Amino acid sequence: MTPDTINHINVYINDVPVKLTKQKVNNTFLVLAKITDDILLKRPDRIRVTLESSSLNRPCDINEKSMDKRTLGVAVSSILIT
């Protein structure tokens, strides 16, 4: 993932866009959002998290030695809601 990809990520909680704080820690990008009660109450039975990015990459565009021409999405390692 490139910095451009992380800069173009949007997150929606229960179909409501949320304000994000983005930071890079070592080789990991953290995307943090504060979710208000009114957003959670829109769907009291579940929380729907939607990630959207207008900037996706191919490995061959990031590393010229790569033969991989697939367009890759965004990998999520974990979601923590507290």
* pTM (2 d.p.): 0.75
Helix, strand, coil fractions of the chain, as percent rounded to 5: 15, 30, 50
In this predicted model, what pLDDT tens digit does every residue of 24-77 receive, in sequence order?
888 888 889 989 999 988 888 989 999 988 878 888 988 899 999 998 877 788
Domain limits, the chain: 3-62
At residue 81, the pLDDT reads 80
Distance CA 78, CA 73 (A): 15
pLDDT of 1 above 70: no
